[in-house]
Every structure is written in C-alpha cells, then in structure tokens.
Structure 1
Amino acid sequence: MWDIIHRAEESGAKALVWTIDAAAASTYRRIARYGTTNANAVTSALTWDIYEQMKNHSSLPIIPKGIVTVVDALVAVGKGVPAIYINNHGARQLDHWPVPLEIAYEIQRNAPEVLQRVEELRRQRPGLGHPFMFASTYGVDGIRKAIRILRTEIAAEAA
C-alpha cells in the first residue's frame, strides 16, 4: 500500500480516494467470465487506525469514498477528512442499500454542519473506475476506445 501511495504522489495525484463502502469482497461476473486476472474487487474496511497510518505516510489528502450514514460522515469530519465521497458502491452487493441522494438528504437533515465543513463529492466528480474495468474485458483495444470516448465527451463538455 505504501508503494502505491508513493507512486500516486510521484505521478502528481491531488488526493487519494479510498473505497470503504463495500461490506465484503465482490466478484465482477462479466470480468471473471472473460478471464481478466483481477476479477475480484477487494475493498478494505475502513479503520481509523489505518486512515491515520495512511495520513502519516502520505502528503496527499485522503478522501473516504462510500460514506453511507450520518454517523460515518460525522466520524469522518471528526477525523479531519478534507472531503467525503457519498456513493452507492455497495448497492450491487447488498439489498436495500441507500442511494446517494438519500444519504446526502439524511446528512443535510441530521448533520448539516458536515456539508459545511467538508466538500461533498457525490455528484461533482464522477468516478471512472467502472468504465475502464469493463473496457478491459476487450483488452488494450477496449481501454484505448474508452480513452477516446472520454476525450470526446470532455471536449464536447468544454465546448
């Protein structure tokens, strides 16, 4: 993990986004079917001890991705996170998982100070992991096509 953090810092990354919301490892069936080597997406359960270790080993801000309750948001703010990323990553694994809008509403209703103290990244910055993960089922050509599509969409949005 420390090597990955160091490489991110050297690459000019602005922050580390740490997925915390999946309750257990999951298998992406389509990827497994096509033989991609990294078929299992393993997500770490967030412990604040690990968060503190990551902070001590990195100059980058660390943003927890997958805040799903008001309590999660309050604890994260109490630990000094610069932002929270509300997400429904676990929805593909668990029945009755709340959608991001419900989570944001609950935070705004029950702890509005959270959204005043940190940036909420649910809608402002979409994640790009899944498009490239699915594109990888078509090998390098799939990744290249995903990059072309993304470039086109960014250029169209900027125009």
Structure 2
Amino acid sequence: MMSGNIYPRTTFLAQLEKSAGQKLSEFAWTYLSYPGAEGQTCRDNCEALQRYRLIPRNLRDVNIRDTSVTVLGSKLDFPVAIAPTSFHKFAHPEAELATAKGAAIMNTLMVLSSWSHHPLEQVADAAPRGVRWFYMLFYRDRGWMKRVLERAEQAGYTAIVLTADQPLFPLNFNERDVAFPVQFSLPNIWLDDVTHGPPGSPEFDAFLKKVVKQAATWEDVEWVKNNTRLPVVLKGILSVDDAKIAVNMGVSGVYVSNHGGRQQDGVPATIDVLPDIVAAVGGKAEVYLDGGVRTGTDVLKALALGARCVFIGRPALWGLAMNGAEGVQQVLQFLKDELSLAMARAGCAKISDIQPSLVVHESYYLHRQLFNHTGKVNNKILTSKY
C-alpha cells in the first residue's frame, strides 16, 4: 500500500505486471512482454489514451449502471474482451483452457489464436458457455482453410477473425534473442498431426513457408467470407481506406489494432485513429479496438470515440501467469468494476449513454491557449466543447 492519498494510474494492473515479470522465466517474460523494435508504438498506445480528457455530465441518476453490450449478436456483461494472443502455456500450464474459463466466468468474449497449445474443440469444451471467436491464419491450401472453418463452426465459435497486419511469418525471433526451449504442439496449425519442430527452428520456419500464405490479399479475405457461415472480423486496421474496403466487402467487424507494436513499430496509437475509422465505417460494421487499455476510463474513452468493444492482450496474460483462470477473471473483474465507476462519474447509466461529447483531446486546450484577441486561431474561430 502506498503512503498518502495519491495512487498511480493502473495500480492493480501495474502491480500485476510486476508480479508476473518476477514469477515467469526470463524466456517466457521476454516473449510475452516483447514491445516490438524500439517499443514506440507499445508505449504510445497507453500514453495516447491519457491525452484524451473526459467531460462528465453531472446530476444524473447513475445509482444503477448497466455495462452490458451486444457484440455480433452475443450479449456480454461488459464491453471488454480478450484479444487473440499466442502461446498461453508460457504463462500457465493450463494455457488457453484457463483463459477461456476466466472469460466465460465473466460472460465476456475470448478470441482463440491459431497459435494456441490446445485444439479449438478442447478450448470450447473447457468453457462451453463462453463466447468464443477464432483467429485463423491464411493458408496456401484453400482446402486446409475450409477444414479449419468447418471445425470452428462445429465447435460453436461465433466469428472468424483474420489478421490484416501480419503479412510475414514467423516473427523474427532471432532479432529478439529468443530461443524456444521446448517442443510443443500447435494443433490448430499442424492439421496433419505431425510435429514440425518448435517455433523458431529451421524445420518450423520451413513448414510455415510451405503452408501459410504470406502477404495475404483482399481476395483471401473475400474467399473466407464466402466460405463460412460465420461473420468475419478483420483485425489490424489502421487505414481509413482499408476500413472502407472491408465494409464494402461485407466484413462484420473492423478491429482497430496495431498488434501491440509487435509488428510495425512507429504506427499510430489505436485510439488516435479510432474516430476516423468509425466515421469511415459509417455504421456498416461494428468497430473494436485494442492497444494500451489498462483502466475503466480507457474503456470509457474508446467507447465514446465509437468502439463497440475493446480487447486486452498482455493484462490477461499477466492474470493468467499469476493465478490461471481465476487470475484472468480478476483482471476482467477489475476492468468491469472500473468501467462501472467511470460511467457513474461521467453521468452514464448504460453503455448507450456514452457519447462522443464525453471526451475531448488535450490539443483542444492547447489550441485555446493560442487564442488571439479576436478569439481566433489561424483565422478560425474555436467553438467550446461545453
């Protein structure tokens, strides 16, 4: 407990991150916490959220708050879900089974990565009441892709997530000075039940180059959409033009993400591009966001700027590392409670009360300081947000 009355932002999650870093092996922590290149984008995701200010509305009846939301037809208790992340066994022996259980207990969504240690069917059986989406790779063999799509449909997954910002496989582990110490199965990728070497090995690299289509295209997205009964979500969108193409193609969800900085460092923070993506989508698809979400006010800001739901990656893994399914549940409960409190303080009793007028970027106040005597900046009159 800190002395005094001032507590730092994200006290709980900051401590959880520290504890997870102390508990995990150096190898596991290096991999799971990797920020990408110089870490600029990873840092900016968090810092950019702090640059938005809340404009609360007072004297409203917020004694009872309803945080529930519907995402692609599934009702969640609150709009915070778990993003697709790989290799959960590095954090906990039960891996994705525990993550799925934690999400299901909180009645929220989990996106299972193709890079999971358990078959997608086994994860579904571990949390049968949970809401699950499946993140699928693009394969060279369309028949292989069709088999994966059918497995996801039969196992009760309710959407297919495709990643747009990962044109090359695998990640260059050598540049990170990471060597995978153990061999393990990736049953959602190794469909032939044959071990192809541990990730990072020459055998594994050769296998991926053989079966995974690198530099996938819009044609591949359209093929997936036309060959599954499930809605398709496109993750990794930062461009307005890409968002427009996606909705014109009939994609059901546009997922604003920069991969936590792990792909291309130096791209914008997701919260900064969110309003433009929402405007470009124009209500033709749901819009989601991940990247730097650490508090309930972060969630509130993202919702105000047009996100239907936000996703977390690293914080869920910290909870998983510390206490398995219960740890994941604790992280989600923390964010749910913080969101409810933030809504009350902002004058919002339900999710639909969260409107764009609730937030303003700090640059607005910087512009006001530039007012000349005529109340203009660069000959433009600034209007008040209040």
Common fold by TM > 0.5: yes
Is 1:121 aligned with 2:288?
Answer: yes
Structure number with the higher helix fraction is 1
AA aligned to 1:34 is P
Deviation, structure 1 residue 128? 4.9
Deviation for aligned residue 1:44: 5.0
Q: CA deviation at 1:58?
A: 0.8
Shift of 1:3: 1.7
Match of 2:331 in 1: 153
Structure 2 equivalent of residue 139 of structure 1: none
Higher RCO (C-alpha under 8 Å, 6+ residues apart): 2
Per-residue CA deviation, residues 22-46 of structure 1 (Å, 9 max, x unaligned), is 2433135476343452357978544
Are the equivalent residues in 2 in contact too, given 1:68–1:87 (CA < 8 A)?
yes
Task: Name the structure 2 match of 1:32.
Answer: 179
SS in structure 2 of the partner of residue 63 of structure 1: strand
Counterpart in the other structure of 1:16: 160
The unaligned stretches of length 5 or more in structure 2 are 1-144, 184-197, 291-308, 338-386
Which of 118, 138, 146 aligns to 1:2? It is 146
Length-normalised TM-score, structure 1: 0.72
Root-mean-square deviation over aligned CA pairs? 3.3
Q: d(CA) in 2 for partners of 1:45 and 1:113? A: 24
The secondary structure found in structure 2 opposite 1:73 is helix
CA contact (8 A) 1:73 1:84 kept: yes
Between 1:67-76 and 1:95-104, the stretch displaced more is 95-104
Structure 1 regions of 5+ residues with no counterpart? 136-141
Secondary structure at 2:179 match in 1: helix
Aligned length, in residue pairs: 147
Same amino acid, percent of matched pairs: 28
Please tell me whether the aligned partners of residues 316 and 331 of structure 2 are also in contact (alpha carbons under 8 angstroms).
no
Contact 1:22 1:43 in 2 (8 A): no
Which residue of 2 is the match for residue 73 of structure 1?
243
In the aligned structure 2, how far is the partner of 1:115 from the partner of 1:38? 40
Shift of 1:47: 1.7
- The one of 84, 97, 104 aligned to 2:274: 104
TM-score, normalised relative to structure 2: 0.33
Shift of 1:57: 1.9
Partner of 2:350: none
Task: Report the Cα distance in structure 2 between the residues aligned to 1:58 and 1:46, rounded to whole angstroms.
Answer: 18
SS of alignment partner, residue 121 of structure 1: strand
